[in-house]
A and B are shown apart, each in its own frame.
Chain A
Amino acid sequence: MWGVTDQPSENLYMPMIAVVDEIFDETPDTKTFRLCFEDKEYAKSFSWEPGQFVEVTIFGAGEAPIGFASNPLEKSFFELTVVARGKVTQMMHELKRGDQVGIRGPFGNCWPLEAVKGMDLLVVSGGCGLAPLRPAILQILANRKDYGEFWMLYGARTPADRDFKYDLEEWAKRDDMHLLQTVDIGDDTWKDNVGVVTTLFDKIKIDARNTVALNCGPAIMIKFVTIGLLKMGFSEDRLVTSLERYMKCGVGKCGHCCVNHVYLCTEGPVFTYQQMRALPELKL
């Protein structure tokens, strides 16, 4: 009965096997998993864009959609940053190095890094919202001369709750980008801003007419960031965010992730505010 099957058929519902190579603890409830496909040929041909996601099978539990969090140019592995919330992600947090997971994808659209070449960039994120933006940031930095000014704002509840602290440290030192961080509650060692991420707005020096904002984080944060940026003069087609919905199939069939006529898994999750305003369910 059992054939050993690592190759997917033309069946987009069958996952490929990947192995957990490394696990990094980002915060008390967030881990980054470095995954490598078992099939090296497949790994070579597997390519994805910042903003996309995969459906991860935790064998025995089920599937969950998780966004890529690593450098898209890296071929030998990819990373997923996961908060343990539901049944599948909680079981994922119990994985050890060497465990196998199933991967389907890549799915979804991507941050519009091609379209915004030549423009100034403002990347605003909060909490675990940094993870889906990290591939974009890494790609921007790898092609730095293709973009203008690069501002980055990042907020978290406490210093310990920040994801990718190792990257933040590096980025803070770079002179080709401006990184501003803030926390809701500081600690003894925290020297930067205290307050929600919108409190950083008066510290940034940009011309909204030439800037595109990429924005990802908790829904309430996105709401207030959007209000603030619109006030600053950003046009609705220059505010880009990544929406979240409960997902199942990832391929635009099961219906769970629909917002009006749009399937987030195939036509999203990245949208401009202008596109979002055309979706009445969002009540914007």
Chain B
Amino acid sequence: MKASETWVLKKTDVSKFFAGVAKEMRLVAPRYLFGGDVTFGVVESPGEIAWDYGHVIYPPKRFLLPHYEDMFRYECGPPRRIRLEAINEAPPQAILGIRSCDVSAIRFQEKFFGSPIVDPYYKARSDSTVLFSLVCNAPPKKECFCICCDAGPYLNAGFDVQLTDLGDRFLYEIGSEKGTKATEAGASMLVKAGSDDIAERRRIEVQADLLFETTAYLAKAIDFISADEVPDEIWEELGSTCFRCGACTNLCPVCTCYTVDDRAEADGSFTRCRSWDSCQYAGFTREASGHNPRPTFGSRVQRRFYHKTSYPYIMRDGRHGCVGCGRCISACLTKLGVPDVVKRIRRGMHKYLPAQDRAAEV
């Protein structure tokens, strides 16, 4: 079984196949909650998996970068003796049904946390995680725009195992060593993909491309933002409606910023815990003296977009910081999702550019 080979797994074999995977690692998959809500969670049996799940608000990044993650404990015992205990929980896990956008985001985070200094917590979790991603035959929600971001609806590289729903069977592509290893247990259930299967997958690809309702023409915005040409007025106008809720960064599968607190426990010990933080909060950069280098809403919106879409970061991270999952659109209480901001920057810049440089409004 080699990477970059293409196979087929019958849907009737899916439960058995993943029951086999479950012997080595816990299964994390989409499950229905209440009223149509879906989440990624640990499933006890493959029967619980909601393969037809649509989309999920709470990103699966939290299985590699938890919302709240304990780092180590300490105790201030007598006589003033400090004892430290490392915590590093990295249960082997297979994340099933994860979308291409979220896979791209995880690859981004692996690169970020892996260099130049290695974050041991992220590395441990990512080393013990294999992704069985699911191609989107159609964008799961109207806010999706992964095709604008080279992050979906299917991937040509960067996946471990990529499944495509072909009706009564899944196309099964192996894309990495991890994928190969995770496939070993159930290899006998796979048959080599035939030309019909490949053709069906091509048809799905072409079809899916036509169904996107949201677009984000990032290129011009990246230019303006990188050159620091977007005037403060535009940022402040954008920031004037921000609710400062932090949802955009919490739910963004790419975002990685966190804060650290030492939390007192009931038994007198302390746990150092890191948790998702947001550059959209005013306190994110406020110093002990009270000085805040980003005191306005506009400066913080500018920060979010600089971090995601400027050349220096693109060069360092290997891609820009948006995978087009659309969560920042649906989670935002106002209209500061990436496509909206990008469009408003492009249009807003019109009046600042000399007439001959103004592109036709797209």
**A residues apposed to B, CB below 8 Å:** 1-6, 9-15, 17, 57, 59-63, 85-86, 89, 98-100, 102, 219, 244-246, 248-249, 251-256, 258-261, 266, 280-281
Contacts and interface: CB of A to CB of B under 8 A. Distances in A.
B153 to A, nearest CB: 29
A195 to B, nearest CB: 23
A272 to B, nearest CB: 17
B217 interface: no
B269 to A, nearest CB: 9
Contacts of B284: 246, 255-256
A5 B257 contact: no
A61 B262 contact: yes
Contacts of A253: 112-113, 117, 119, 256, 258
B88 to A, nearest CB: 7
Interface stretch (B34-42, B68-76, B237-245): B68-76
B250 to A, nearest CB: 13
B82 interface: yes
B295 interface: no
B257 A254 contact: yes
Interface stretch (B5-13, B187-195, B305-313, B353-361): B305-313
Given A14-B86, A60-B76, A63-B260, A258 B307 contact: yes
Interface string B99-126: 0000000000000110011111100000
A126 to B, nearest CB: 14
Task: Count chain A CB atoms within 10 A of each CB in B113, B258, B264 and give the residue with the most.
Answer: B258
Nearest to A4: B83
B182 interface: no
Contact of B288 (A5, A89, A260): A89
A245 B287 contact: yes
A107 B262 CA distance: 21
A11 B118 CA distance: 9
A14 B71 CA distance: 8
B32 interface: no
A260 B88 CA distance: 32
B23 interface: no
Given A6-B84, A100-B80, 6 more contacts: A9-B120, A11-B88, A253-B113, A253-B258, A254-B257, A255-B256
A78 B81 CA distance: 21
B310 A2 contact: no
B113 A11 contact: no
Interface in B213-254: 228
Interface string B272-310: 101001010000111111010110000000010011001
B287 A12 contact: no
A246 B71 CA distance: 21
Q: Is the interface of A mostly helix, strand, loop or mixed?
A: loop
Given A60-B264, A62-B262, A252-B117, A1 B287 contact: no
A281 B88 CA distance: 37
Interface in B66-98: 71-72, 74-76, 80-86, 88
B312 A261 contact: yes
Contact of B84 (A15, A86, A252, A280): A15
Nearest to B284: A256
Nearest to B229: A280
B259 interface: yes
Contacts of A86: 288
Contacts of A13: 71-72, 120-121, 272
A65 B213 CA distance: 47
Contacts, number: 124
B262 A85 contact: no
B258 A254 contact: yes
24 contacts: A5-B86, A9-B120, A10-B118, A14-B71, A14-B84, A14-B86, A17-B82, A61-B262, A100-B82, A245-B287, A246-B284, A248-B258, A248-B259, A248-B260, A249-B258, A251-B119, A252-B116, A252-B117, A253-B256, A255-B279, A256-B257, A258-B303, A260-B306, A261-B316
Contact of A255 (B75, B277, B294): B277
A1 B291 contact: no
A102 to B, nearest CB: 7
B260 A2 contact: no
B117 A62 contact: no
B252 to A, nearest CB: 12
Nearest to A7: B84
Contacts of B277: 254-256
Given A1-B85, A2-B85, A248-B260, A85 B80 contact: no
A258 B321 CA distance: 16
A280 B228 contact: yes
Contacts of A248: 258-260
Contacts of A280: 228
Contacts of B52: none
A62 B260 contact: yes
B5 to A, nearest CB: 35
Interface centre among B71, B72, B81, B113 (most CB of A within 10 A): B72
Nearest to B75: A2
Contact of B262 (A1, A60, A254, A281): A60
B85 A254 contact: no
A282 to B, nearest CB: 9
B83 A5 contact: yes
A98 B82 CA distance: 12
Contacts of A5: 83-86
A266 B287 contact: no
B293 to A, nearest CB: 7
A172 B128 CA distance: 60
